Amino acid sequence: MATEAFTVRAESDIVHQLDHLADSLDRSRNYLVNQALKEYLQQHAWQIEKITQGIAAADRGELVDHDDVMKEMEELIERKAQGKA
């Protein structure tokens, strides 16, 4: 896979922690930063997808009335409070 260089400025304590971790794991700072970026992107990809799906649904007019949502949430809370959920 092709790589591309870019610059990131970080607080000194973060850089020192990163360097300490890299030394401890016998890995490079670059390796750890790439791993961290991959994990961050994977963990947040679902959020972007759900937002995109929600916007598309809204554009199609697939909306739920606020009062209906609140009623359902109140029912769920009540069931949970009674130990039924």
The Cα 3–Cα 32 span in angstroms is 15
Is the separation of the CB atoms in 81 and 72 below 8 Å? no
For residue 22, the enclosing domain spans 12-81
Look at the pTM and tell me if it is higher than 0.75. Answer: no
Total domains present in the chain: 1
Q: How far is CA 72 from CA 62, 66, 80, in A?
A: 17, 10, 12
6 found inside a domain: no
Kindly tell me the sign of the dihedral angle through the C-alpha atoms of 36, 10, 47, 72.
Answer: positive
Q: Is 4 part of a structural domain of the chain?
A: no
> Does some domain include residue 3?
no
64 occurs within a structural domain: yes
User: How does pLDDT run along the chain (85 residues), one tens digit per residue?
Assistant: 899 999 999 999 999 999 999 999 999 999 999 999 999 999 899 899 999 999 999 999 999 999 999 999 999 999 999 987 6
Neighbours of 23 (CB within 10 A): 11
